[in-house]
A and B are shown apart, each in its own frame.
Chain A
């Protein structure tokens, strides 16, 4: 019993860490550009399929190391282009927020069925990053889980460092605080918008590569991921990075415990209930700013 609970906690922690990586990307893009991206889950699957394509049919040398190395520029390019071509032309309309939601929802449907057309409707499984287990007493830890945890937390710390210490990161923060003011002091606002969108694509794509090893690459699983990422973001407070971090771990744990005790079918219901209760008490989420 005790060891089962420890297992559940570990799985909650690992899921939570990957969710945190994805939710931080989403909250960043919302905080900076105010674009509500409904195609977020499809970018998660893009990461999964990208890794599958490189590892299984192409059999790339270097395994996951090369996958990560190749994925970051590709995901950045895809995100950057999509923002430039699809989202930024809408910005000049009054009701662009609604239009972006509709557009990204259509894009998500297009991408999901695009994956189905290209890769077939069957789910794909990714090989693990590293084999082997680590045993501490009676608790068994998979090396893969440890690697996923380290990589996603490391990715997040690395991202936090970029945001706080580099020039581009500070420009992103400036645009988030005051777009007009940032433009006055010479920050290229449109570039920052596109770059933020691209960075969030990288984060969710990496999340896909990491988490799909534990689950599967499922062409129809994207809405589930999208809802999870959005619930975490709203629960933590949109635009608040520390809020998303807490929310991701809380929801990862909740999911693990509800799934273990009541069954997976209740996970979504529990998640929604938590979201509704939180928003009823705190309309801007846990750490949201007014």
Chain B
């Protein structure tokens, strides 16, 4: 993997006169030159609006845009590319489902099931929906080991359950949910429920075959998988997407507009009102090419290698607490930890002084922080361009934290 580092111009940066060690890819990944070049090339050579023009540039832009949709569909093994809806990010994808499908199908007396470890983006939309319509939100805890509490999950599912929304890979604990198996459980115990899976931390890091997961909606985002910001994906089953009213109205999403009424465009454009993020979609398509060239199995192996190395090294440092499953096979490339009673922001500040970029805080998962009885934690996350040497620098930084704060 080492030879790919030169594809990422930013990795040559110095931070406080030290080489940048970027361990915050779970927040957003860095972008290879190939992705940046493709976006420049679109603006320099093909820039035009999509789906409307007869002129050459518009045809080229449309081909690039729809070609990227096909690439993304193939990447996650979706046969019908019209089921791939481009949105801004995973948050918007979940909001689209909450506003369009949720408000039509979930009513007082119905139940929504989520887990305690959801990112706020897969928690607050559902919390707000039940505040609005009087439905019930049930929250499934995780075990001490950071895995989904299977018994509580089963108990929460009833005939009243209309939606089960859960993460594929936790952005804090790193826990990987066996989505296929959970979907089977949902179908059996909650026959009236639809299943939404937050794949924001999964699609960038492991092979994902949506056709085998058994869910109804799946969301992910481009900027965590080497793509640009501002482009995300909602996948939904065709029959569901067709039954849903548009989320936003305007251009592109219409079939015919008269003074009295408007009919909607076909999928996927029904949900893509207005001029879309064309360069973002093109960039995402090239990010997919890039990941496929490495191979998603290799990406996953690399994550496992670095996570194993990091958890081994960090767990040997006295005073360091690591959160999440101890079995690295059950976790993605994130390691959340605390150093003694030192606040995560202080850990991050001292590491920043060493050139090491990590995330600190509540990670948009305050219910989980409360559950773990902590206010915040530090999180190192890995991706294809990271190395064991960089993990070593992380550990040196953690020792520095202990030294500054005089932690034994």
Q: Do A and B come from one complex?
A: no
Hey, which bits of chain B sit against chain A, CB under 8 A?
none
Hey, which bits of chain A sit against chain B, CB under 8 A?
none
